[in-house]
A and B are shown apart, each in its own frame.
Chain A
């Protein structure tokens, strides 16, 4: 048992020593409970029980009854069972034999009862959160009634016990099958009751195996750009009126903002939702309520989220707006030069000239986020006769500015939650796919790969066919060898074939005559993200295909038929 413990290497090292110890005790206790040393209750020969049978009869109980305390220790890893079987190398017997003797069942029940009692006795916080305690209590009570029932005539009780055991045997596997895979590992992520934020953090980050299901998105077909926009267009927003109203509320504070501008403040608006529309409205409003009667006001709008926007181009635009046609032909390559030009121009202009309004959308967007850019923008903000309104979308944007920048920026903040979607600010589909680590999906998918293959020479197609065939074979072999192992989500991605092996096959089939040529062909696949490559533990290169098995088969079919 102890060896088993240390064997189950999947127990994460992070689990606290204390927990480990209790787990060990429990495990030992469990061993004692089941072991032959335990006095047989009915005088029935439990001694002769082969360990494998024990293993057969108890796990279900242990699983159903006291798995939870064990779970906590992280011991109950999926490999546990197979390892156990490996240890006691007796061949498995058919299940029907298990529940044969009632005493055995009783024994098992009793040991479960003991365990439950122990769980109740050794209450710890974790268990309380997981609800294992409750389960244990239920078992204890349930068993009590069982034993009470068992007191009447022996034959009956045997009968009843037998039936019950059969029932349990029938019920429990069913329940297991009904659960999603990996669900028995699941700890409830939300503890009961309201926890303060920091407690919640520690609760959710406590050590232990990952308790999420193994489901993955392989079966779900992801959206393409076109489909995303098409489908989003069909959505009817239930809160449209409320959002309009919210916007109109913000609209009301425009005079206040203008007053703040007049008094030398710059404005920062934050809050959830895109504020681009609001900024545009403010630009409209400012234009129409300009105090100057002669020239139209200069308003510059900057979209900070535009990829590749440079701070110099922002300054250059402002200079153009201020100077009109008198812009010098050469502005200078450094943003500071342009900024200083702007400052000197503004200085030379009269006091009564209309100030320049600069509206920056998403000042905290990645392209503008760099400290150097923020410092330059702060200097722009500190320039007299420049009025700066910036919008910030992320929750922690104030950390961009230290005190001296804050001082220069001289901001007043307004919460302008709009709830409008960031349609222009973010490339949604791209973002999501990168979040899911599916960059390749967009280029390829089955169709994409097929399309690329069509344009490749015969040799390349043959190589790809070879690769797919090998991969599928490997997958089949793998499944045969350990079919008991759960079909893990990551499995499909992980199957691969060693570089050398593939090369050998390729030369055998006269696809590639030299390694050089072989690599050239592979590079083509690489460029189209049709293959993946990684190093295994020994340093050999493993090649794989970023497709699901179904897709692989489809492509292979097309290749063979085409």
Chain B
């Protein structure tokens, strides 16, 4: 460790900048930097179009041998694919919000102090874990009100309100800048007749309201619970006294519950408010919908695999993620796929001449799924085809592209089947409802078709009566337009028409159609089960049921194959757990502990020093940390120093200057202190207290 030598080498300008709080970066004039600008010029000359330059963010893959067009194609297909998905997500979010938005906006429009007995009209919005929804809601409400020139929404956060004056000042400024911009605010302050008012005077706001003819002045407190209670009380009582001049409406975002929030406020304050309670839909629901639409849509080209799906839902439940955060993670998965997978170029449906063919074919031939595919083909006896694929690049590419299409088609049908199962479950399952995402996880791991869930579903389907079956068939028909299914439905229809009077028909599998007879034989009771007499219609109906069950079974086993068995699944199924998990749920403490406890995990040492023993070859902090790990809850600094010094002395003998070692000890100690693993102990002189245990 030699910060000095290191930093001296970096030059003096560096030393200066490191002590500045914040500065604007200026490129260094000397050294390597000299070459860089020329590079930049070269690139800017080649890529004149904006669309083209974007692609440069992507690095050529395949050891850098990928050609520029392919890189560009990957980038473009990412943009196209994701923008489609993003639209879908936005639509869902808007749809989810729509209900609350109309409610809240009609509340804002319809209420006034007069309708509220002179109190401040208040909308209490409980958001629960869905924190981001409120800001979406508010910004849309704001847009609505501004466009109709009724007023505006001002959002106040707890951070903006350290005291009453600042809070008021912020409210007034935000109100004015919301419509007139920053310059407008400055003008507004200076261009007034009469004495100049201070920034927190509500007269200013009154003035503004009169000038603009504002009818609704919505003040939204996004995190009401975080506000200081006293401040909130003052603020509200102030609003109350101005309410005859400024048409306030207060909107409180609440993450716990209305009762808890009310409990914190004094009665006198609560008495000032009158309003209504709104509830925003929980995030989980929304997330399920997003996932469903992303995966099952008929235009989907890239699917998220089983690992990713479970990671996504794990994160959502563990960290209370908002739907936005969820979609960001999905986005990141898409990004990773197109950024790092050379096969992603196939999505652009490229003209084979543009691609760097040799390399791409090599890639395809090295895929595990290609191997399986070839083995299957050989078993089937089409050795020629395999030979062609191995030897003829053109043929392989052609085949690859068609296989990709076929594979995507199969994926779509898998998700169709998932939807079908889900629909059936709606009718058959009465206890716990399995969500589409649960079913998808099973389907993606190829376990759905022989899961108990499906077995039970089949069993219950058999027992359905004709009314329910009719509905179910209708639903299934929507999901899977299929001739056989249609025929079954027609049969059922005709059967029902034949006997319109006899109520719902029951199949032979229904419990009600099994009759238990009780016979007394020699003072013993004998129970015997037997089929109840089935009417002719019921018998017909049972046949129809049988047909349906057979159809469903066949359909499911045929469609629900394991996605990993498909050729080219590497291209259209993204299932790497890792970039996603590490980027969104990092474990920084683990990383630091690992770096310090086993530094050679990171520092690939060329020498043989990779043993686990503490040695002076390791960075000083790592040595000290390992000694620290061996110590008890209380550490004697002197002994620690002796041990530390010992590590160096043992290996270097007399040749080491113990003052140098001491300086290393110092830097290591200060780093450990910065990490918060040690602190000064008052129990004994020159002792440190341990405050972190590795692995806890």
A interface residues with partner B (beta carbon < 8 Å)? 187, 189-190, 196-198, 200-201, 204-205, 210-217, 220, 223, 227-229, 231-243, 245-246, 255-256, 258-260, 262-263, 265, 268, 270-273, 276-277, 280, 283-284, 287-291, 293, 298-303, 306, 308-310, 313-314, 317-318, 320-321, 334, 336-337, 340-341, 344-345, 348, 352, 359, 372, 375-376, 392-398, 403-404, 406-407, 410, 412-415, 417, 419-429, 431-432, 434-437, 489-490, 493
Is B670 a contact partner of A432 (Cβ separation < 8 A)? yes
Is A489 a contact partner of B685 (Cβ separation < 8 A)? yes
> Is B525 positioned at the interface, with any CB of A under 8 Å from its CB?
no
Determine the residue in chain A with the shortest Cβ distance to B635.
A212
Asked, given contacts A340-B177, A395-B593, A407-B132, whether A255 binds B58 with beta carbons under 8 Å apart, the answer is yes
* Interface contacts beyond A259-B58, A413-B588: sample of 8 additional A-B pairs, CB < 8 Å, sorted by A: A239-B599, A239-B617, A277-B10, A288-B36, A299-B25, A313-B22, A359-B25, A431-B670
> Is B98 positioned at the interface, with any CB of A under 8 Å from its CB?
no
* 8 A-B pairs whose Cβ atoms sit less than 8 Å apart in the complex: A216-B636, A229-B663, A235-B664, A237-B2, A255-B59, A291-B54, A419-B595, A435-B669
Contacts of A414 in B (CB 8 A): 583
Contacts of A300 in B (CB 8 A): 22-25
* Nearest CB on B from A176, distance (A): 19
User: Quick one: which of A190, A256, A290 contacts B630, CB cutoff 8 A?
Assistant: A190
Is B33 a contact partner of A284 (Cβ separation < 8 A)? yes
Contacts of B618 in A (CB 8 A): 239
> Is B638 positioned at the interface, with any CB of A under 8 Å from its CB?
yes
Is B173 a contact partner of A340 (Cβ separation < 8 A)? yes
Is A288 a contact partner of B39 (Cβ separation < 8 A)? yes
* Nearest CB on A from B4, distance (A): 4
Is B21 a contact partner of A306 (Cβ separation < 8 A)? yes
Contacts of B1 in A (CB 8 A): 232, 235, 237, 421
Q: How far is the CA of A242 from the CA of B601 in the complex (A)?
A: 11
Q: How far is the CA of A414 from the CA of B690 in the complex (A)?
A: 28
Is A403 a contact partner of B129 (Cβ separation < 8 A)? yes
Is A287 a contact partner of B27 (Cβ separation < 8 A)? yes
Contacts of A216 in B (CB 8 A): 636-638, 685-686
> Is B17 positioned at the interface, with any CB of A under 8 Å from its CB?
yes
Give the contacts of B165-182 with A (CB-CB under 8 A).
166, 170, 173-174, 177, 181-182
* Nearest CB on A from B283, distance (A): 10
Q: How far is the CA of A212 from the CA of B632 in the complex (A)?
A: 9
Q: Which of A239, A423, A493 has the most CB of B within 10 A?
A: A239
Q: How far is the CA of A287 from the CA of B677 in the complex (A)?
A: 38
For B321-334 the 0/1 string (1 means CB < 8 A from A) is: 11011001001100
Is A336 a contact partner of B170 (Cβ separation < 8 A)? yes
Is A301 a contact partner of B17 (Cβ separation < 8 A)? yes
Is B595 a contact partner of A417 (Cβ separation < 8 A)? yes
Contacts of B632 in A (CB 8 A): 187, 189-190, 204, 211-212
Q: How far is the CA of A308 from the CA of B19 in the complex (A)?
A: 11
Q: Which of B17, B332, B677, B685 has the most CB of A within 10 A?
A: B685
Is B617 a contact partner of A317 (Cβ separation < 8 A)? no
* Nearest CB on A from B241, distance (A): 25
Q: How far is the CA of A552 from the CA of B112 in the complex (A)?
A: 80
Q: How far is the CA of A320 from the CA of B162 in the complex (A)?
A: 27
* Nearest CB on A from B334, distance (A): 9
Looking at B231-239, B412-420, B464-472, B602-610, the stretch in contact with chain A turns out to be B602-610
* Nearest CB on A from B189, distance (A): 11
Give the contacts of B592-625 with A (CB-CB under 8 A).
592-593, 595-596, 599, 602-606, 616-619, 621
Contacts of B684 in A (CB 8 A): 210, 212, 214, 489-490
> Is B552 positioned at the interface, with any CB of A under 8 Å from its CB?
no
Is A223 a contact partner of B666 (Cβ separation < 8 A)? yes
* Nearest CB on A from B602, distance (A): 5
Is B660 a contact partner of A232 (Cβ separation < 8 A)? yes
* Nearest CB on A from B676, distance (A): 6
Asked, given contacts A210-B684, A232-B2, whether A426 binds B671 with beta carbons under 8 Å apart, the answer is yes
Contacts of A201 in B (CB 8 A): 693, 696
For B8-31 the 0/1 string (1 means CB < 8 A from A) is: 001000100111111111011000
For B658-696 the 0/1 string (1 means CB < 8 A from A) is: 011011101101110111111110011111101011111
Q: Which of A205, A237, A395, A398 has the most CB of B within 10 A?
A: A395
Q: How far is the CA of A375 from the CA of B653 in the complex (A)?
A: 53
Is B602 a contact partner of A301 (Cβ separation < 8 A)? no
Is A260 a contact partner of B694 (Cβ separation < 8 A)? no
Is B674 a contact partner of A393 (Cβ separation < 8 A)? yes
Is A213 a contact partner of B617 (Cβ separation < 8 A)? no
Is B21 a contact partner of A395 (Cβ separation < 8 A)? no
Determine the residue in chain B with the shortest Cβ distance to A286.
B25
Is A271 a contact partner of B595 (Cβ separation < 8 A)? yes
Determine the residue in chain B with the shortest Cβ distance to A228.
B663
Determine the residue in chain A with the shortest Cβ distance to B583.
A412
Contacts of A288 in B (CB 8 A): 27, 33, 36-37, 39-40
Q: Which of B177, B621, B687 has the most CB of A within 10 A?
A: B687
Determine the residue in chain B with the shortest Cβ distance to A430.
B670
Q: Across the A-B interface, give the 9 residue pairs with the lowest CB-CB distance, nearest first.
A: A423-B3, A189-B632, A197-B695, A395-B589, A299-B25, A413-B586, A242-B603, A272-B595, A309-B21
Determine the residue in chain A with the shortest Cβ distance to B8.
A233
Is B634 a contact partner of A212 (Cβ separation < 8 A)? yes
Is B675 a contact partner of A395 (Cβ separation < 8 A)? yes
Contacts of B58 in A (CB 8 A): 255, 259
Contacts of A241 in B (CB 8 A): 606
Contacts of B617 in A (CB 8 A): 238-239
Is A238 a contact partner of B592 (Cβ separation < 8 A)? no
* Nearest CB on B from A503, distance (A): 28
Determine the residue in chain B with the shortest Cβ distance to A314.
B22
Contacts of A489 in B (CB 8 A): 684-686
Contacts of B322 in A (CB 8 A): 403, 407
Is B57 a contact partner of A262 (Cβ separation < 8 A)? yes
Q: How far is the CA of A232 from the CA of B584 in the complex (A)?
A: 38
Is B659 a contact partner of A372 (Cβ separation < 8 A)? no
> Is B380 positioned at the interface, with any CB of A under 8 Å from its CB?
no
Q: How far is the CA of A427 from the CA of B339 in the complex (A)?
A: 41
Is A419 a contact partner of B599 (Cβ separation < 8 A)? yes
Contacts of B637 in A (CB 8 A): 216-217, 436
Contacts of B695 in A (CB 8 A): 196-197
Q: How far is the CA of A238 from the CA of B168 in the complex (A)?
A: 60
Q: How far is the CA of A227 from the CA of B665 in the complex (A)?
A: 13
Q: How far is the CA of A115 from the CA of B494 in the complex (A)?
A: 97
> Is B497 positioned at the interface, with any CB of A under 8 Å from its CB?
no
Asked, given contacts A223-B659, A229-B4, A239-B603, whether A287 binds B25 with beta carbons under 8 Å apart, the answer is yes
Determine the residue in chain A with the shortest Cβ distance to B53.
A291
> Is B478 positioned at the interface, with any CB of A under 8 Å from its CB?
no
Contacts of B605 in A (CB 8 A): 239, 242
Is B588 a contact partner of A431 (Cβ separation < 8 A)? no
Asked, given contacts A419-B595, A428-B667, whether A189 binds B630 with beta carbons under 8 Å apart, the answer is yes
Is B673 a contact partner of A431 (Cβ separation < 8 A)? yes
Asked, given contacts A287-B25, A313-B22, whether A205 binds B633 with beta carbons under 8 Å apart, the answer is yes
For B540-570 the 0/1 string (1 means CB < 8 A from A) is: 0000000000000000000000000000000
Determine the residue in chain A with the shortest Cβ distance to B340.
A256
> Is B278 positioned at the interface, with any CB of A under 8 Å from its CB?
no
Determine the residue in chain A with the shortest Cβ distance to B593.
A395
Is A280 a contact partner of B7 (Cβ separation < 8 A)? no
Is B173 a contact partner of A233 (Cβ separation < 8 A)? no
Contacts of A393 in B (CB 8 A): 674-675
Q: How far is the CA of A198 from the CA of B696 in the complex (A)?
A: 6
Contacts of A210 in B (CB 8 A): 634, 683-684, 687
Is B21 a contact partner of A314 (Cβ separation < 8 A)? yes
Q: How far is the CA of A381 from the CA of B250 in the complex (A)?
A: 27
Contacts of B584 in A (CB 8 A): 412-413
Contacts of A231 in B (CB 8 A): 657, 659-660, 662-663
Contacts of B22 in A (CB 8 A): 300-303, 309, 313-314, 317-318
Q: How far is the CA of A334 from the CA of B683 in the complex (A)?
A: 44
Q: How far is the CA of A245 from the CA of B630 in the complex (A)?
A: 30
